[in-house]
Amino acid sequence: MKCIACGHETDARKEDRKLDLGLPYHVVAKGAPVHVCSNCGARYPGIQAPLAALNALALWIARRPARLHGSEVRFVRNALGWSQEQLCHRLGVTVETISRWENSKKPIGYQSELALRFLVLAGSEVAERIDSDAELPSRVDVLDTRVVEAA
């Protein structure tokens, strides 16, 4: 790629880079791509597959054994692509409660933490199905121990 500052070609490299994600620990992108201009020294850092990397970090946070820190609540909410209003609707709490959790003014409650971790691990489509207005099936057939069909 060409340098934006001077127009010369840049050299593609890979290096470890600390990411500032507002979490209470350091997050390092190992082998992240960076383009460096040999003429003026301008640096153009990047992240390979940024959405996949952020989703992987959200899954790691959800599996981490210790209680969630407020900044982790905010991070996983953002990784799910939800606003505070959407999360409060899904967890049955107020927006003010979400704000207190995220700003570490109040720890997240145990049941809410379990639900949030589940939603991260199961994926946001679980919550979207719960929120749907789909009708109940009239019958459910269990064909064997692995196959269930709704009629």
Do 57 and 124 fall into the same domain?
yes
Domain total in the chain: 2
The pLDDT of residue 151 is 63
% of the chain with per-residue pLDDT over 90: 77
Do 33 and 62 fall into the same domain?
no
Q: What is the pTM of this model?
A: 0.80
At 83 the three-state DSSP class reads coil
Long-range contact list for 28-31, CB < 8 A, 24+ apart?
29/53
Do 60 and 126 fall into the same domain?
yes
φ, ψ dihedrals at 35, nearest 5°: -105, 130
Q: Is 42 inside any structural domain?
A: yes
Please say whether the beta carbons of 1 and 45 come within 8 A: no
DSSP letter at 68 equals P
12-56 pLDDT, tens digit per residue, is 999 999 999 999 999 999 999 999 999 999 999 998 899 999 999
CA dist 80 and 25 (Å) reads 21
Higher pLDDT, 83 or 126: 83
CA dist 58 and 117 (Å) reads 9
By residue range, what is the domain housing residue 121? 51-130
List, as one string, the DSSP characters of 12-46.
EEEEEEEE--S-SS-EEEEEEEEEEETTT--EEE-
CA dist 97 and 115 (Å) reads 15
Q: Is 145 inside any structural domain?
A: no
Q: Is 147 inside any structural domain?
A: no
CATH of the domain at 123: 1.10.260.40
Through-space distance between the first and last CA atoms of the chain, rounded to whole angstroms: 56
Give the list of residues 6+ apart from residue 103 with CB closer than 8 angstroms, or none: 70
